Amino acid sequence: MDIAIIGGGITGLTAAYELTKKGHHVVVFERDPVLGGLAHGFKRKGWDWSLEKTYHHLFTNDNAIINLIDELGIHDKLIIKRPITATLFTLKGEAFKGSPQIFQLDSPTNLLSFPLLSPIDKLRTGTLLAFLKLNPFWQPLESITAQKLFTFWGGSTSWRILWEPLMVGKFGEFAPTIQAAWLWARIKKRTPSLVYIEGGFQTFIQTLANTISLQGGIIYTNTQVMSIKKSTNSKSANLQIAYKKFRNNLSFDICHLSFDKVLLTTPSPIAFKLLPKVRSTMNDQQSTSPIPHLHAQVLVLETRKPILQDVYWLSITDRTFPFLAVVAHTNFMDKKHYGNHHLTYVGNYLPDNHPYLSMTKEQLLKKFLPFIKRITDDELRITNSYVFTAPFAQPVHQLHYSKRAPKLVTPIPGVFLANMDSIYPWDRGTNYAVELGQKAAKTIENL
């Protein structure tokens, strides 16, 4: 079969790997100059390893991607560590002068010693978290919001102190509408130890791409698919793809190729533009409004001194801070791989039209630095900084999400859709991109 895969992120590459393994003729079309989509890494002069544009790690139970890494023969590249994750709270009251304090909250013992909750609130919160961790049934949690579940079982004080600021920081106005199944998935999945890949996720992406090529697949980068149409030429295959092959930033060639089947792995709004019929028929079937998405924006700071002393992941509950999380990558992986510089992400999820999305790096630095200085004792010696913004980076899991998620088999014969929106009850992640790519490949073969 001749199969086109649109999007060279992890879903598309996994599907291409599986289909070329079975002997199909596959062409991957990737709009960007590089493969990997949201998990793509960049490398600066003097660095031995790539760094993901947005913070990435795996959990030790991310079996689909770990098994694929094994199959590709690079299992020895996996690194397992238990970095410190913590939460920042700004303590109110005379004695504290509104000073930010960092508490490690990644184990039941840490929760027990957390000073901002009463013993009864700790007991209620601990019971709720244990229930979420042990309960295998997520479906009933689709019809109740995370806020309702948490306040009912964990208590409104714990919700207000521990979770609400993080939910509002991440989802903004959507926070009260997030389904409890999303919270269940976050708690259920988390493992204290985390996994990284020697050389960065790029090691995995490049090995996957090389194997696809060895299996006869073709990968086009700098190639943006513009439309998909039913071919009028009855002798050729069924679906005709028109694409722009960029020669440089300014010039491109318009080309056409025909295929028996097409797998779209782009975000849904792009897929719907390429094939409006997919959206209209889905909406007719499900009579639901489209899934909202958030942009991810990350400022990466390269510094001579660490911003966080030993914490890897710091969630910020103080909503006067202009960011949601500080992720000190070099408190997870050794700074020697990055020219002995400390690398720290400052991250946000933002709705469409948020003012930060149109700010320059300098404007963002000016806005963020006074707050970064509140969490570090050291003088910041920034040697470099980078800003990355990705649209459609987080689908919003509102009530009954599973009914709204796009279906793999679209109403158009031969066209399939598999992207981050298809993933539930889990929050998106590279592990699920691998699972989805494998499922898509199987379905394409069998239909």
Interaction site with ligand FAD (CB under 6 A)? 6-12, 29-32, 37-39, 54-58, 224-225, 265-266, 270, 296, 347, 390, 393, 419-420, 428-431, 433
Classified as helix, coil or strand, 330 is helix
Quote the least distance from Cβ 17 to ligand FAD, whole Å: 12
What whole-number distance in Å separates Cα of residue 262 and Cα of residue 71?
26
Q: Are 334 and 354 in contact (CB under 8 A)?
A: no
Quote the least distance from Cβ 310 to ligand FAD, whole Å: 20
β partners of residue 241:
228, 257
Nearer to ligand FAD, 125 or 348 (CB): 348
Quote the least distance from Cβ 78 to ligand FAD, whole Å: 13
What whole-number distance in Å separates Cα of residue 94 and Cα of residue 195?
42
Residue 137, burial from CB neighbour count under 10 angstroms (0-12, 13-18, 19+): exposed
Nearer to ligand FAD, 266 or 317 (CB): 266
What whole-number distance in Å separates Cα of residue 91 and Cα of residue 72?
49
Quote the least distance from Cβ 93 to ligand FAD, whole Å: 34
β partners of residue 225:
243
Pick left, alpha or beta for residue 412 (phi over 0 → left; psi -120 to 50 → alpha; otherwise beta). beta
Nearer to ligand FAD, 114 or 432 (CB): 432
What whole-number distance in Å separates Cα of residue 91 and Cα of residue 156?
18
Nearer to ligand FAD, 66 or 270 (CB): 270
Nearer to ligand FAD, 217 or 429 (CB): 429
Residue 244, burial from CB neighbour count under 10 angstroms (0-12, 13-18, 19+): middle
β partners of residue 145:
179
Nearer to ligand FAD, 6 or 146 (CB): 6
Quote the least distance from Cβ 148 to ligand FAD, whole Å: 27
Quote the least distance from Cβ 295 to ligand FAD, whole Å: 9
Quote the least distance from Cβ 7 to ligand FAD, whole Å: 3
Cα angle value 290/291/294 (rounded, 5°): 130
Quote the least distance from Cβ 233 to ligand FAD, whole Å: 23
Nearer to ligand FAD, 69 or 161 (CB): 69
Nearer to ligand FAD, 38 or 180 (CB): 38
Cα angle value 98/351/430 (rounded, 5°): 95
